[in-house]
Amino acid sequence: MAKIVTRAELFHFVQEHGGGQRVLAWLAGRQLSVVTFDQLRVAGLGRHAIARRLADGSLHRRHRGVYVVGSPIPLPGATQLAALFACGAGSLVSHRSAAALWGLAHDGDEVQVTVVGRHRRSRAGIDVTQVGSLDQRDRRSRNGILVTAPARTLIDLAGVVDDDADLERAVSEARALRLIRDGEIEAALERARNRAGATRMRRFLSAETESGFTRLEAERRMWRLARDSGLPQPLCNARVNGVEVDFVWPEQRLIVEVDGYQFHGHRRAFERDRRRDQALIAAGYRVMRVTWRQLRWEPLRVAVAIAGALAVDAGSFAAGARPMADGVQTAAEASRKHG
């Protein structure tokens, strides 16, 4: 993880420990081995000292005024951090590069950077997008690197990917990783207005709505299904042994997950879901997966399957609260704990 050293922190270190190689190593250890020309000067390295290190291979130029210490092979995140240093204050990693940092897509050949309120041109290795302003809700830090928030990243990504399937996979992965919540992309679209990618993302969300599947709608249908079938009401979006699940009956130690392409739409999400299932089963829970299509068009079949898994007659239950099983935490409790 990167920890950007401020000018004041650097001055303090130099006063306490002196300059030269010691401060250079200290800087490199905090900033993924990426340093700037100004930092090197504060560290006591003049132009000749910098040139000497460039010649002997202990320092490598990445961009104008930006260098990598030691190995020329960058650490994970160092390429993005170097691009931000090159672009200066007000810059964030964005578009495909931000999607890569969030684990939603593969990075491209250039680092894509959004610069806010300043004039910066693209250069070798850096593709710059300029915006007049960017809402604070659209800014985040990822492993110490300034980056656009996941919802804004997906909107920007919609403007640069060639294939709609790539966008669909990225949105699916963001939901599977719980990086975005229902309504978050829509809110970011209101702030993005007519930015590149906004129109395409609106079309994508409209197509999803027409398919009828959202997480909130899945919750509503499951609640109605349990009520109409006389099943006990499950807990929604509770945490079981540290894993957030769609629905859980704690007393019966039964978990039901609803699968749909938006949430589980490509192989990485599929593999992760199976690892989650294995961990929950090892903890003593039973995991049942139903599809959105089954929940929507075959509710009776789903109700019978759940009743069978609960090992009781579906008609013998009255809805009501049930005692918590060990390791189960409701969404509200998790919010209070972490909020």
Mean pLDDT for the stretch of residues 310-318: 50
Tokens of residue 332, six digits: 């509200």
Judge residue 256's burial from the number of C-beta atoms within 10 Å of its C-beta, 0-12 exposed, 13-18 middle, 19 or more buried: buried
Please say if the pLDDT value at position 244 is more than 50: yes
**What pLDDT, on a 0 to 100 scale, did the predictor assign at position 320?**
42
Task: Count CB neighbours of 258 within 10 A.
Answer: 22
Structure confidence by residue, pLDDT tens digits, 83-107: 999 999 999 999 999 999 999 988 8
Please say if the pLDDT value at position 325 is more than 90: no
Mean per-residue pLDDT of the chain:
86
Please say if the pLDDT value at position 316 is more than 70: no
Please say if the pLDDT value at position 207 is more than 90: no
Please say if the pLDDT value at position 287 is more than 50: yes
Report how far residue 307's alpha carbon sits from residue 310's, in angstroms, rounded to the nearest whole number: 5
Q: Please answer whether residues 129 and 115 qualify as being in contact, where contact means their C-beta atoms are separated by less than 8 angstroms.
A: yes
Structure confidence by residue, pLDDT tens digits, 19-45: 888 999 999 999 999 999 999 999 999
Report how far residue 135's alpha carbon sits from residue 190's, in angstroms, rounded to the nearest whole number: 11
Mean pLDDT for the stretch of residues 263-276: 66
Instruction: Read off the pLDDT band of 319 (50, 70, 90).
Output: very low
**What pLDDT, on a 0 to 100 scale, did the predictor assign at position 314?**
40
Instruction: Read off the pLDDT band of 324 (50, 70, 90).
Output: very low
**What pLDDT, on a 0 to 100 scale, did the predictor assign at position 180?**
92
Q: Which residue has the higher pLDDT, 58 or 318?
A: 58
Task: Count CB neighbours of 157 within 10 A.
Answer: 28
- What single-letter DSSP state applies at residue 76? T
Q: Please answer whether residues 2 and 81 qualify as being in contact, where contact means their C-beta atoms are separated by less than 8 angstroms.
A: yes
